[in-house]
Every structure is written in C-alpha cells, then in structure tokens.
Amino acid sequence: MSTRLNIIVAACENQGIGINGELPWRLREEMKYFSRMTKMTKSSEKQNAVMMGRKTWESIPDKFRPLPGRLNLVISSRAKNPGPEFNGSTVCSSFKEAIDKVHSRAEVESVWAIGGSSIYEMALESDHLHRIYLTRILKDFECDTFLPSFDPKKFQIVTDPLVPNEIQQEGDITYKYEIYEKLK
C-alpha cells in the first residue's frame, strides 16, 4: 500500500469542528492552507483525492463542488443510486470502497480525509493513516460536531517545511498548525 491517508481538520478548544453543517469560523488563510495541502503533490503526473461524507459534500457551496484539482470521493449510503447532487464526485458506499477505488487509480498520490466526524473516526482507525494535519483554533465556539479523540501516544509531533510553525492570526482568532505522524 503506497497511498498515504492523511486527515486534515480544524478544531477549536472543545474539539468542535462544525455547527449546523457549517464551519463555526471564517478563516480565509486557513482555507487557502487546506486547499494548498490537499492539492499539492510531489509528482506533477499525479493528483490527490479528498474523501468526505455526504454531509460534508453538501456543506461545500455548489460553486466550489467538486473541489477542483482533486479526485472527490463521497461516502454515502446513497451510493447505489447517486443523484445529480453528486456530479463531479465518485460516490462510494463505504470507507473501504473509497480506499479500494484510490488503490485502483495510479494517478492518485495521497488521500485526504476532510470530514465529517464519522469519516475522521474511520480514518483514525485505518491502517493506512499516515498523518493528522490539525489546525488548532485557540478559542471556543459553539459546535454540534466534534473531532473524535485519538491517543496522542500513538503519534509523534513532526514538522513540515510547508507548514508554518508560528501562531497564526486572522481577525480575533488565533490558531496553530500541528502535525501528528502515526508511529509505526
């Protein structure tokens, strides 16, 4: 298995990641970081895949769907008869089917789990998990969706030259990027 599975997520102090199907914050630079990280490949011949649940897909404004420059995988129980609302994406009935689809496509370099909570939970349990790219929002927000907890002892904190180390600030919100690499 050469395809690497990464999680990319922003969570506030209470581990919240969303409310009413939306992000609780508006962070333009953090969204650019998300886009850059999920698009960037080492090989110009390849692209990355983004894996998400149906609700995450539906939370992306129509004009941004599918997320450009990436293979969009949507995990949905509606996979047997996906409607036009999934145009531009590959619909899979399970996490395993999504991983299998990626393995059958030589042009995919990395897979990014981008939400929601149940997709993150499956990715955290996956043998394919390589890294968690966590944007830690240093503030509390009211949320109804949360990042599943993970055992930090199973990971080591690493740095990536493409990820800023210093505290970021947008408006009245400060945040920092953390990268957890799964121990072998």
Q: Which domains does the chain have, with CATH numbers?
A: 4-182 (3.40.430.10)
Residue 48, helix vs strand vs coil: strand
Q: Which entry of 5, 27, 30, 67 is annotated as an active-site residue?
A: 30
Residue 91 near residue 98 (C-beta atoms within 8 A): no
Residue 54, helix vs strand vs coil: helix
The answer to whether the peptide bond before residue 161 is cis (omega within 30 degrees of 0) is no
Local structure of residue 24 (DSSP, 8 states)? S
- Tens of pLDDT, residue by residue, the chain (184 residues): 467 899 999 999 999 999 999 999 999 999 999 999 999 999 999 999 999 999 999 999 999 999 999 999 999 987 667 666 788 899 999 999 999 999 888 899 999 999 999 999 999 999 999 999 999 999 999 999 999 999 999 999 999 999 999 999 999 999 999 999 999 8
Confidence (pLDDT) at 88? 87
Q: Which entry of 5, 13, 22, 23 is annotated as an active-site residue?
A: 23
Residue 34 near residue 8 (C-beta atoms within 8 A): yes
Q: Is 125 one of the annotated active-site residues of the chain?
A: no
Confidence (pLDDT) at 77? 82
User: Which residue in 124, 129, 181 sits closest to 156, CA to CA?
Assistant: 181
pTM of the complete model: 0.94
Q: Is 23 one of the annotated active-site residues of the chain?
A: yes
